[in-house]
Amino acid sequence: MKIPGFPGSKNKIAIRPDRKSKSLIPQLTSWHPWLRQLLDWTVTSGSVLLCLLMLPTRLPGMELLGIGPNWLLIWVVAWSVKRSVFEGALAGIVLGLLQDAMTSPNPTHAISLGIVGMLTSLIQKQRFIQEDFISIALIVFGMAVVADTIFAVQLSILGGSCGEQCVRKVEDIWTYYQRVALASAILSSLWAPVVYYPLNRWWQQMKLINNS
């Protein structure tokens, strides 16, 4: 005795692969190139604005020793990992100036983020590290240490310009930024996939659409 199957079950199984292969993004191929470019700029600039707004935010799991993830540094790494050295450095400088506008321009964040963008482009261009979540997390960890070290050097130069009275201040700066660099590097590397995955997927899809 055969057990009757559910009607239409075979058809549903056959349709599923087609549905899975379809995506909303390929529908953008019918859009005008200028509209697609405008949408791409909107998504990119919107992600930058979101990272700027997230900088002072301290949600559960986003704080270690009073330090939060460096969202702008994560964005610079995500942008620079598949782009030229010039594009990476330019993006870092622009985002650094935006961070200066929110915090303080002295010392500036443009130098540290510009160097981060340049180094990230060089690392990926030489193919020293394969591109996956673990590799991106490692890059973000190293670049966070580099950025905080450069920032501490700037503070030391400014603090040590007043003579012997500032020697103690310089020592305090380096003691403090050793903890800051480690906490920021750990948190930024853990949260890096949250920024990297959606942005990288979006930029890949847009590149495929523009090249098709």
Using left for φ > 0, alpha for ψ between -120 and 50, and beta otherwise, residue 108 falls in beta
User: How confident is the model over 52-84, as pLDDT tens digits?
Assistant: 998 887 777 677 777 888 999 999 999 999 889
The CATH architecture one would assign to domain 34-211 is: Orthogonal Bundle (1.10)
Q: Mention every residue, 6+ apart, whose C-beta is less than 8 A from residue 93.
A: 110, 113, 114, 117
β partners of residue 64: 67
Unique residue bearing structure tokens 């960890």? 141
pLDDT band at 19 (very low <50, low <70, confident <90, very high): very low
Cα distances (angstroms) measured from residue 172 to each of 101, 103, 168, 184: 26, 21, 6, 18
User: How confident is the model over 122-144, as pLDDT tens digits?
Assistant: 886 655 556 677 888 999 999 99
pLDDT band at 49 (very low <50, low <70, confident <90, very high): very high
Residue 107 has pLDDT above 60, yes or no: yes
